[in-house]
């Protein structure tokens, strides 16, 4: 199967039989549809895909695909994903989860996957709330937001996921939303095709605990296509400038794509393995390393 | 003439005392002796105090030895900081730096009169012959060659090789320092000769390595293809060995951003179908617990090496202890069994790490290898190991038929289900930390949970019948007994030999499998026992308590435990056995004397 893709697979080939636990109307239904479409467009067979998540409503998503899924522990999708990628660089590795999973409990990992340029696509379903635990403050909740753990309003500034990953030097940074399903599928596809760490922030409304302004209607009102705006995705500083408007505007599309992608960590590993393989003692003689002559 | 000599040397960080120990051990190996070297440091990175013990023997060495035969103090402040780690007795020859200006009859060792005390102008001799005091350690090696007959040729041969790249001048300066030390010894013979007898195995190939390097080599031998970890004393060298070697075997290593990511990546690599591992020490073990729980419920093979140090928390990072036993046996929440194995020496670390991979793969489980600072950091001379005797086990893969309608967690007779991995057509499934039905789909069902808990725990039953994971020595019907594991086992093996030489009827059990507790093996062992010791280096007598949870120990069996950095000496154990023996004899007095 070529990475350039064929039309051999249809979106339905990536859909599993499990029925999502999500609330009716949840934005994540659209996200999983977008992923099916993106995977079909890329054309890798399901068994060559590993899809890892942490814990949260959105982290149920691997189970709704026909890929090898791993619904792991809270905040640790990325460490597990990078182990999978290093163990078998030929796999297509996706990671996904919510804003709490990615930017709170697991917030320490993203920077390092970016630094290593792990060839992994990371999709965060950002809904500014903890939904699975029934409505607590999340790292992307607006300051002043009233939730069941912030009865008098949040006293914290939210994390800006886009600026965060741009600042760490991610080679591919994009944003999508169920307000534009076709655009989301195309953006995720582009992220998967990018050779290196790719980040897609999806504004995915929580219908149960989300605020009115963050529902589809509200999001539509503040959405703007980066392509239509004439944004040049090779311009990292312009991307950072636009990313500052996170929370006020919802820019959709690619903020930044490194026009000259550096080698991935996997490329460097392969290079090193090839370079050193000729020096290997046969395994059964490995203890010869300890002979003192 | 001696057959066994224990050297203990201490100085400041820059004195090169550990490098002298290395040279001495290598020279001894070259001359056919067996040896063990342990190092001990203060926690300072540079400067501070450092010490080593080197035990050299004509027969295989079981532990770093008891009281020192030879103590070398480059200064007394540093020497005294090691306390019980460098015990001086009435049979010790003490050699110390004359520039300390302490008279030979006033050395600061309280309550002991050594066999002989010799002040040597070590620094002055180094300066005079090599032009720098940095050659002090070479002078010490010359003294040892002169007085004890070890390394007269081999030491300088090793030093020449080590310094070859640094030029002839340095090599010759070291030769002069070495010769001066040796000449001093010749000119000042000991009151009683302590020369070691020549080894009969001179010329045989010997390996020298420590437990950390040995565990990494064993892992690669077992087919480990991935290491994820984070630097932590005293386990870091395991990762270092991987970063040098694993690429050559098509594997990779990740120095992760933290302890959790390290084991997380290893869990991922295992899910992806590769044998994988991590290594850590106390605080890191605490951090890795959640991932161990995940690997248990997702039934993923994984090896975790925990090199124990003094705890809790940062504790004593550079000293050995066995107090991670509870943490290893009961790591992470939930009802779960995670096998725990422990090597007792550098040599058997090879076998135990291979065993850990085999158990991890066969039972699809994380396995903890409880090493400890002493085994991990000590260097041993080893006879070559025949690697062809070790069988390597790989996880059970689904057959082509099983991949038609594949069921990842299928119930089977032995509770072990064939495991697929990404890339395998027909094998896709959802791995998860959430409870799942046989297909892998999430569930909340109590009855499924009960069934799955059964599957995940009962699968280990055969492991407890593995007699080869227990070593029993001594008289099998003895009324006196010892149980010891890890580095303490080596001390007890020597204590057993000493006690037997004194005519005691005693036996020793060394479990390599610590958890799950193999009730059958212990019940059989204790059947003849009236008095016994469960010996470990913990404050809470963790081994005794863990056994008591599972076994009705005979009433006369007690713990013999002490905190880390207070090593057991074989003599301590023999003394404790004497005490038990007299108790045993007293308890039978009534049977021997006529009743009044």
Q: Domain for residue A6, yes or no?
A: no
Return the pLDDT at A293: 61
**Secondary structure percentages of chain B, helix, strand, coil, to 5:** 40, 20, 40
Of A47, A87, A280, the CB nearest to B269: A87
Please report the pLDDT score of residue B90 as a whole number: 96
B565 or B225, which is more confident: B225
pLDDT of residue A5: 45
Answer whether residue A62 is part of any domain: yes
Which of A69, A87, A285 has its CB closest to that of B431? Answer: A69
Contact B41, B110 (CB under 8 A): no
What is the pLDDT confidence band of residue B201, given thresholds at 50, 70 and 90? confident
Q: How confident is the model at residue A1 (pLDDT cuts 50, 70, 90)?
A: very low
pTM over 0.80: yes
- The pLDDT assigned to B587 comes to 85
Residues 427-446 of B with CB under 8 A from A: 427-434, 441-442
Provide mean pLDDT across the span B209-223.
98
Q: Do A45 and B431 touch (CB under 8 A)?
A: no
pLDDT value, residue B83: 86
**C-alpha B433 chain-centroid distance:** 33
Distance between CA atoms of residues A171 and A173, nearest Å? 7
**Predicted confidence (pLDDT) per residue in A34-82, tens digit:** 999 999 999 999 999 999 999 999 999 999 999 999 999 999 999 999 9
B473 Cα to chain A: minimum distance (Å): 28
Cβ distance A83 to B260 less than 8 Å, yes or no, reads no
**Do the domain assignments include residue A121?**
yes
Q: Which two tokens stand for residue A262?
A: 């550096």
Q: Are B584 and B531 in contact (CB under 8 A)?
A: yes
What mean pLDDT is predicted for residues B175-185? 97
Residue whose entry in the numeric block shows the structure tokens 């909340």: B444
Measured between alpha carbons, how far is residue A245 from residues A135, A163, A248, B102, B244 in Å? 25, 10, 5, 75, 46
Q: Which domain holds residue A160?
A: 11-290
Domain with CATH 3.40.50.920 in chain B: 469-595
Q: pLDDT value at position A3? A: 47
pLDDT tens profile B507-561: 999 999 999 999 999 999 999 999 999 999 999 999 999 999 999 999 999 999 9
Phi (first) and psi of residue B426, to 5 degrees: 90, -10
Contact yes or no for A208/A125 (Cβ under 8 A): no
What is the rounded average pLDDT for all residues in chain B? 95
Radius of gyration of chain A (CA): 20
CA distances from residue B452 to A37, A70, B302, B516 in whole angstroms, order as listed: 35, 18, 20, 18
Q: Cβ B268–A273 below 8 Å, yes or no?
A: no
* pLDDT for the residue numbered A94: 98
* Whole-number pLDDT of residue B42: 79
Pair A118, A77: CB distance under 8 Å? no
Helix (H/G/I), strand (E/B), else coil: B432: strand
Range from A184-188, A227-231, B153-157, B261-265 carrying the lowest mean pLDDT: B153-157
Percentage of residues in chain A with pLDDT exceeding 90?
A: 96
Phi, psi for residue B150 in degrees, rounded to 5: -110, 125
What are the pLDDT digits (tens) for B417-427? 999 999 999 99
Question: What ipTM score was computed for the predicted complex, to two decimals?
Answer: 0.96
Q: How many CA atoms lie within 13 A of B268 on its CB side?
A: 38
- How confident is the model over B93-117, as pLDDT tens digits? 999 999 999 999 999 998 999 999 9
Whether B595 has a pLDDT exceeding 80, the answer reads no
| A1 within some domain | no
CATH number at residue A74: 3.40.50.970
Indicate the CATH number of B469-595 among 1.10.3210.10, 3.90.550.40, 3.40.50.2300, 3.40.50.920: 3.40.50.920
pLDDT (tens digit per residue) in A244-292 = 999 999 999 999 999 999 999 999 999 999 999 999 999 999 999 999 7
pLDDT greater than 70 at residue B590: no
Where are the CATH 3.40.50.970 domain residues in chain B? 208-389
Measured between its terminal Cα atoms, the distance across chain A in Å is 51
Q: Is residue A225 part of a domain?
A: yes
CB-nearest partner of B387 from A45, A269, A284 = A284
Right CATH for B4-187 from 3.90.245.10, 3.40.50.150, 3.40.920.10, 1.10.420.10: 3.40.920.10
Of B233, B258, B255, which Cα lies nearest the Cα of B244? Answer: B255
CA distance B448 to B333: 19
Distance from CA of A270 to the nearest CA of B (A): 8
Q: What pLDDT score was predicted for residue B592?
A: 57
Whether domain B208-389 has CATH 3.40.50.2300: the reply is: no
| B12 φ/ψ sector (left φ>0, alpha ψ -120 to 50, else beta) | beta
Could you tell me if B426 lies within 8 Å of chain A, comparing CB atoms? Answer: yes
The count of domains in chain A is: 1
Structure confidence at residue A2 as a pLDDT band (50, 70, 90): very low
Nearest CA of chain B to the CA of A211: how many Å? 29
pLDDT-based confidence at B506, cuts 50/70/90?
very high
DSSP-based helix, strand, coil % in chain A, nearest 5: 40, 20, 40
Q: Is the pLDDT of residue A4 over 90?
A: no
Both structure tokens of B104: 């030979």
Contact A79 B423 (CB under 8 A): no
C-alpha atoms less than 13 angstroms from C-alpha of A70 in its C-beta half-sphere: 37
Evaluate whether A273 touches B250 at the Cβ level (below 8 Å): yes
Q: Look at residue A49 and tell me if it is in a domain.
A: yes
Q: Is residue A275 part of a domain?
A: yes
Q: Taking the C-alpha atoms of B161, B162, B164 and B169 in order, what is their torsion angle to the nearest 10 degrees?
A: -110
Q: For residue A91, what is the DSSP state? A: S
Q: What number is the average pLDDT over the span B120-131?
A: 97
CB contact under 8 A, A269 and B252: yes
Q: Do the Cβ atoms of B21 and B86 come closer than 8 Å?
A: no
Which residue on chain A is closest to B206 by alpha carbon? A291
Q: Residue A196: its pLDDT value, please?
A: 98
**Is residue A193 scored above 90 in pLDDT?**
yes
Q: Do A60 and B442 touch (CB under 8 A)?
A: yes
Q: Nearest Cα to B234, choosing from B431, B487, B3?
A: B487
Rounded CA Rg of chain B? 26
Mean of pLDDT values over A96-121: 97
Distance, in Å, from the CA atom of A176 to the CA atom of A184, rounded to the nearest integer, reads: 5
């Amino acid at each position: 199967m070529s990475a350039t893709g064929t039309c051999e697979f249809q979106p339905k080939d990536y859909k599993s039989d499990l029925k999502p636990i999500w609330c009716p109307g949840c934005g994540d239904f659209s996200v999983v549809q977008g992923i099916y479409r993106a995977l079909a467009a890329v054309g890798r067979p399901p068994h060559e895909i590993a899809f890892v998540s942490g814990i949260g409503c959105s982290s149920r998503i691997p189970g709704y695909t026909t890929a090898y899924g791993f619904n792991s522990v809270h905040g640790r999708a990325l460490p597990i994903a990078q182990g999978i990628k290093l163990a078998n660089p030929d796999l297509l590795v996706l990671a996904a989860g919510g804003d709490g999973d990615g930017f709170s409990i697991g917030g320490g990992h993203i920077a390092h996957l970016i630094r290593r340029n792990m060839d992994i696509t990371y999709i965060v379903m950002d809904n500014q709330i903890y939904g699975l635990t029934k409505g607590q403050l999340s790292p992307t909740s607006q300051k002043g937001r009233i939730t069941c753990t912030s009865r008098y309003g949040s006293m914290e500034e939210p994390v800006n996921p886009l600026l965060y990953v741009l600042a760490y030097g991610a080679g591919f940074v994009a944003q999508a939303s169920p307000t534009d399903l076709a655009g989301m599928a195309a953006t995720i596809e582009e992220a998967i095709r990018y050779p290196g760490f790719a980040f897609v922030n999806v504004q995915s409304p929580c219908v149960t605990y989300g605020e009115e302004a963050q529902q589809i209607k509200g999001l539509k009102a503040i959405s703007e296509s980066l392509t239509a705006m004439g944004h040049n995705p090779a311009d990292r500083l312009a991307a950072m400038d636009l990313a500052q408007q996170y929370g006020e505007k919802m820019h959709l599309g690619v903020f930044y794509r490194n026009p000259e992608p550096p080698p991935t960590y996997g490329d460097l590993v392969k290079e090193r393995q090839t370079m050193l393989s000729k020096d290997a003692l046969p395994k059964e003689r490995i203890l010869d390393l300890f002979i003192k002559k | 003439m001696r057959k066994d000599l224990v050297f203990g040397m201490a100085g400041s960080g820059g004195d090169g005392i550990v490098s002298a120990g290395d040279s001495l051990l290598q020279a001894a190996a070259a001359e056919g002796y067996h040896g063990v070297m342990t190092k001990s440091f203060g926690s300072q990175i540079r400067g501070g105090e450092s010490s080593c013990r080197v035990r050299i023997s004509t027969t295989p060495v079981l532990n770093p030895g008891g009281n020192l035969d030879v103590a070398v103090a480059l200064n007394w402040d540093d020497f005294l900081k090691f306390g019980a780690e460098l015990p001086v007795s009435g049979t010790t020859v003490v050699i110390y730096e004359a520039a300390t200006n302490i008279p030979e009859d006033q050395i600061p060792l309280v309550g002991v009169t050594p066999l002989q005390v010799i002040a040597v102008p070590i620094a002055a001799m180094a300066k005079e012959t090599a032009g720098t005091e940095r050659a002090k350690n070479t002078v010490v090696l010359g003294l040892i060659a002169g007085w004890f007959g070890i390394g007269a040729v081999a030491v300088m041969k090793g030093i020449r090789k080590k310094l070859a790249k640094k030029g002839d001048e340095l090599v010759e300066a070291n030769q002069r320092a070495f010769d001066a030390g040796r000449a001093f010894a010749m000119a000042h013979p000991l009151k009683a000769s302590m020369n070691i007898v020549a080894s009969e195995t001179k010329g045989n190939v010997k390996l020298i390595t420590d437990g950390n390097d040995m565990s990494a080599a064993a892992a690669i031998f077992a087919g480990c293809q991935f290491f994820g970890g984070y630097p932590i004393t005293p386990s870091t060298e395991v990762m270092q060995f991987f970063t040098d070697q694993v690429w050559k075997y098509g594997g990779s290593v990740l120095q992760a951003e933290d302890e959790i990511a390290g084991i997380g990546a290893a869990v991922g690599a295992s899910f992806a179908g590769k044998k994988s591992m991590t290594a850590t020490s106390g605080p890191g073990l605490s951090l890795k617990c959640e991932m161990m729980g995940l690997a248990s419920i997702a039934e993923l093979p994984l090896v975790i090496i925990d090199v124990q140090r003094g705890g809790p928390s940062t504790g004593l990072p550079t000293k050995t202890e066995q107090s991670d036993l509870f943490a290893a046996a009961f790591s992470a929440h939930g009802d779960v069994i995670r096998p725990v194995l422990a090597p007792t020496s550098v040599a058997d670390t090879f076998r135990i790490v291979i065993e850990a991979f085999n158990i991890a793969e066969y039972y699809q489980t994380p396995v903890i290898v409880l090493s400890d600072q002493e085994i991990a950091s000590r260097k041993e001379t080893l006879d070559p190991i025949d690697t062809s005797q070790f069988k390597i086990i790989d996880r059970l893969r689904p057959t082509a038929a099983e991949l038609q309608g594949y069921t990842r967690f299928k119930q089977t007779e032995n509770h072990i289900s064939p495991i697929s991995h990404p890339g395998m057509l027909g094998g896709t499934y959802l791995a998860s930390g959430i409870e799942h039905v046989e297909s892998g789909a999430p569930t909340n069902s109590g009855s499924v949970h009960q069934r799955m808990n059964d599957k995940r725990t009962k699968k280990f039953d055969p492991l407890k019948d593995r007699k080869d994971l227990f070593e029993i020595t001594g008289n099998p019907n003895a009324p006196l007994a010892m149980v010891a594991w890890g580095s303490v086992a080596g001390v007890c093996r020597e204590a057993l030999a000493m006690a037997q030489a004194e005519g005691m009827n005693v036996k020793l059990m060394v479990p390599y499998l610590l958890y799950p507790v193999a009730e059958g093996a212990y019940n059989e062992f204790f059947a003849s026992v009236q008095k016994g010791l469960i010996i470990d280096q913990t404050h809470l007598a963790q081994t005794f308590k863990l056994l008591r949870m599972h076994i009705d120990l005979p009433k006369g069996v007690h713990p013999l435990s002490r905190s880390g950095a207070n090593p057991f000496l074989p003599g301590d154990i023999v003394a404790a056995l004497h005490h038990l023996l007299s108790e045993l004899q007293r308890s039978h007095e009534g049977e021997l004397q006529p009743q009044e």
